[in-house]
Amino acid sequence: MKYLKPWWSDGGGLLHLTILLSLAGLRLDLDLDLDLYLLLPPPTLRWDELLLARGPTSSSYALSPFPASGGWGRAEQLHPKGREPDPAADPEGRLLREVRALGVPFIPRTRVDAWLVHSVAAGDADGAHGLLGAAAAASSAEGVGASLEDSSQAAPGDGGDPRAVASSPSAAGEEEKAPAEPTAQVLDAGGRANQENEVLRERHEAMGHSSQNEENEQRLSAQEKSLQQKNEDESKIADKPDWEAEKTTQSRNERSLNGTETAFSLDDLSQMLLSQPENSLEGISLGDIFPGSINDGMNSSTRNINFSQAISHDVNLHDAMLLCPDNTFRREPTARTSQPEEPFLQSNSHTTNPEQTLPGTHLTGFLPLVGNQMRNLSQDLLHDLDISIFGETNLMSLATEGFDSMEVSQLFEELDSDSGLSLNSSNSTSVTKYNSSCSMCEGGATGYSDLEGAVGGYYPDPSNLCHMGWRNDSGFHGDLAIQHIHHNHTYHVEPGALDSTPRSFSQHGKSQKINKHLNDTDRNLSRDERRAKALHIPFSVDEIVRMPVESFNNMLSRHYLTDLQVSLMRGIRRRGKNKVAAQNCRKRKLDIILNLEDDLCNLQAKKEILKRERAQYNKAITTMKQKLHHLYHSIFSRLRDDDGRPVNPNHYVLECSQDGSVLIVPKELVTSGHKKENRKGKRK
């Protein structure tokens, strides 16, 4: 038994862990707040599913395994602690107690988000070695697995074998025909097994921590060291810019893929899962179990496991998901099983596909539930994404990625206005789609609102639940679907907080609501920053814009990014650079204008100076002319001809010769002489 770290903290650990456990013939049950197993309708409830019922919880509510009436609702299954249904009045509740008494330990729910991993029968001829057998063998036939197997072998073929009920197709078919029968079978099984288990349990307790546990502790210690070393590497990388740290990260990943780091085999996992005493389950994380690449563990696990049987024996959760009363969440089984699974996000060719990691293995049953079903769900979501695409960011994508509904609306409105489209039309359309996409959480018992009831109104922190392992390529597919689920929790907030829902948003003033719900930080963010935040792009806008194009392309190719994210990042880069270019352009234009204005001022100043100089020159010329005029009159007033008469200045002019002598020349001669000089000049 193992208490594992929540899958979302390991980005994609869900699929890997599911695959791994399926390969091992183990049954992985999610003790998430979604309590997916609660979706199981009573007719499909089987022995192993009864084990899924939660044991004593640390929360204020406990779960009873059976609905009070009718369907497999959730609200009815919650009851205050200490007020559990009377076993006598509820034989099925007594059944649960009997099953618990089989010795399958229930993990105390000391963490809200934890994995409850327990063993069930593999359901085939090798079943004794498939799950319980392998687990028991791996754990030296100690503990619960052994006890269960012993109990199952103690009554072979008498209908009391839990594995026969759990995994036998014929038995399952009978269940569907007569839902009450398996209950009796389980009761029989539990009754017989209970006695033997009491003995085994006492023996187990007497042994205390066996040598097996010591080995596990040593193993965990070694793995902790490995993890510590890895964390140190990561902390070193975190101090560098991303595009500088990429090389380091890549080399480390390559090391990991090459198997130089600790690989965890399935045998180890089985031993750890089944040998850990209940009280030591806490504090063991997924990282403890998978210190290296999860794929390593998967590869190593292929040694001993009958894949096809181990994987496909259990379809309960799958059915549970599909048997939702609200068919908006349901896919046709034929389409589910017969149609080839389309690669989720086909554009991302480097996607880690769980099916591809298992060559030759057709995965059906439980694995498809988590893997395929999530992909189906994701495809549905992506279908909506395609429909309601607006600009480069999509409302649905935001909804699926843990973005607050108010922020989604805000982004939508912004993007809508950016695109130049009619705000009313596109807004109503997209919001309608957004709401319709949430119809599955409101329409029926499988809706997320009901799920919330099942988890006692606990609303996970989206920042935690929706943490996406962007740097972990394998973590996105499952995240998308689950995040969508988690995200929709925000639609069922307390009445006082309903203002944050799109409904109220549409009913009240937009800007007021926007400003009300966007905190100061968000308001200070640019639009692209909010877009990047909404799509959980693990790079800052500044990084995206300023990053060298080579690093940028490397980043796009090496990180698992959706088309939407890549498109947004390219848009951010384009707009960011264009924004800078526009700023530079405007600055340059302003500089040019300012320079021209300066030039104009300078030229105007020069013009004024020239004007003043011209005026001064004109003034000087005028003065000289006046002086010359006075000189003429003075000279001619003193001149006399041969007869002693004054010389008429209108008929004569004064002409200075080159030697400085002054001659009195008749004007006619001066005029004719000038004409002759002009003619000579023209001839030349």
Partner DNA sequence: TTGACTTGTCATAAT
Partner DNA sequence: TAATTATGACAAGTC
The residues, any chain, with a CB within 8 Å of residue 530's CB and separated by 6 or more, are 407, 410, 411, 414, 522
Question: Minimal CA–CA distance to 307: which of 130, 161, 168?
Answer: 130
CA-CA distance, 431 to 505, in Å (whole number)? 10
CA atoms within 13 Å, Cβ hemisphere of 351: 21
Residue 389: exposed, middle, or buried by beta-carbon count in 10 A (0-12, 13-18, 19+)?
middle
If binding is defined by CB under 7 A, does position 418 make contact with DNA?
A: yes
As measured in angstroms, the least distance from the Cβ of 533 to DNA is: 14
* Pair of tokens at residue 326: 């609200």
**Quick one: 518 or 647, whose CB is closer to DNA?**
518
Nearer to DNA, 362 or 577 (CB): 577
118, containing H or E segment: strand 114-118
Q: Of 31, 319, 355, 528, which lies in the binding site for DNA, with binding defined by CB under 7 A?
A: 528
Stretch that binds DNA, among 131-139, 443-451, 522-530, 646-654 (CB under 7 A): 522-530
Measured from the CB atom, the residue of 52 and 564 that comes closer to DNA is 564
> Among 509, 392, 98, 103, which Cα is nearest to 274's?
103
Structure tokens at 385: 């994404």
Nearer residue to DNA within complex by CB, 417 or 429: 417
Q: Which is nearer to DNA, 580 or 665 (CB)?
A: 580
Task: Identify each DSSP E strand in 200-269 by its residue range.
Answer: none
Residue 476 Cβ, how far from DNA at the closest point, in Å? Answer: 23
CA 472, 474, 475, 481 dihedral sign is positive
Q: Give the residue among 65, 57, 105, 101 at the shortest CA–CA distance from 81.
A: 57
**Given the rule CB under 7 A, which of 247-255, 443-451, 523-531, 643-651 is the region that contacts DNA?**
523-531
Structure tokens at 172: 């399952």
- For residues 15 and 478, the answer to whether their CB atoms sit within 8 Å is yes
Task: Specify whether the CB–CB gap between 312 and 292 falls below 8 A.
Answer: no
**Looking at beta carbons only, is 43 or 571 nearer to DNA?**
571
Pull the structure tokens for residue 89.
Answer: 């009045």
Q: Scan residues 182-201 and list those touching DNA (CB under 7 A).
A: none
Q: Which of residues 532-561 bind DNA (CB under 7 A)?
A: 549, 552-553
Of positions 140, 248, 337, 417, contacts DNA by CB under 7 A: 417
What is the spatial distance between Cα 288 and Cα 219, in angstroms, rounded to a whole number?
Answer: 9
CB of 552 to DNA, least distance (A): 6
Query: Per rule CB under 7 A, is residue 247 in the interface with DNA?
Result: no
Q: Within 572-591, which residues bind DNA (CB under 7 A)?
A: 573-586, 588-589
> Toward DNA, which CB reaches closer, 391 or 453?
391
Residues 8-27 that bind DNA (CB under 7 A): none
Q: Closest distance between DNA and the C-beta of residue 393, in Å?
A: 11
Residue range at the interface with DNA (CB under 7 A); choices 56-64, 104-112, 402-410, 571-579: 571-579
Query: Nearer to DNA by C-beta: 164 or 545?
Result: 545
Least distance between DNA and beta carbon 608 (Å):
27
CA distance 533 to 518: 13
Residue from 360, 420, 496, 681 binding DNA (CB under 7 A): 420
At closest approach, how far in Å is the CB of 385 from DNA? 19
Q: For DNA, which is the closer residue by CB, 178 or 581?
A: 581
At closest approach, how far in Å is the CB of 340 from DNA? 32
The span from the CA of 440 to the CA of 436, in Å, is 8
Closest approach of Cβ 515 to DNA, in Å?
9
C-alpha distances in Å from residue 255, one per residue of 176, 261, 263, 353, 558: 50, 7, 12, 21, 16
* Interface positions, 342-401, toward DNA (CB under 7 A): 391
Q: Does the protein bind DNA through residue 597 (CB under 7 A)?
A: no
Q: Is residue 517 a contact residue for DNA (CB under 7 A)?
A: no
Q: Which CB, 288 or 416, lies closer to DNA? A: 416
Taking each helix axis from N to C end, the angle separating 423-437 and 372-387, rounded to the nearest 10 degrees, works out to 170
Number of residues that bind DNA (CB under 7 A): 27
DSSP E strands in 560-661: the ranges are 652-656
- Per the structure block, which two tokens stand in for 97? 């107690």
Q: How far is the CB of 163 from DNA (least distance, A)?
A: 57
Q: Which residue in the set 277, 527, 558, 653 belongs to the binding site for DNA (CB under 7 A)?
A: 527
Give DSSP secondary structure letters for 517-558.
HS-HHHHHS-HHHHHHHHTT-SS-HHHHHHS-HHHHHHHHHH
Instruction: Write the CB contacts of 683 (distance below 8 Å, at least 6 apart in sequence).
Output: none
Query: Measured from the CB of residue 425, what is the shortest distance to DNA in angstroms?
Result: 13
Q: Are 42 and 97 in contact (CB under 8 A)?
A: no
Amino acid at 236: K
Give the CA count within 13 Å in the CB-facing half-sphere of 317. 24
Q: Which is nearer to DNA, 224 or 563 (CB)?
A: 563
For tokens 């990429």, name the residue: 246
For 575, half-sphere exposure in the C-beta direction (CA atoms, 13 angstrom radius) is: 14
The minimum distance between CB 24 and DNA, in angstroms, equals: 45
Q: What's the min distance (Å) between Cβ of 541 and DNA?
A: 10
Residues 443-482: x where in contact with DNA by CB under 7 A, - otherwise, as a string:
----------------------------------------
Q: Does 318 bind DNA (CB under 7 A)?
A: no
* CB closer to DNA, 241 vs 333: 241
Positive or negative torsion for Cα 554, 555, 559, 565:
negative
For residue 595, state whether it binds DNA (rule: CB under 7 A).
no
Contacting range for DNA; rule: CB under 7 A; set: 137-145, 301-309, 415-423, 646-654: 415-423
Closer CB to DNA, 204 or 575, in the complex: 575
Closest CB to DNA among 471 and 570? 570
Check binding of 526 to DNA (CB under 7 A).
yes
Residues at the interface with DNA (CB under 7 A)? 391, 417-418, 420, 526-528, 549, 552-553, 571, 573-586, 588-589
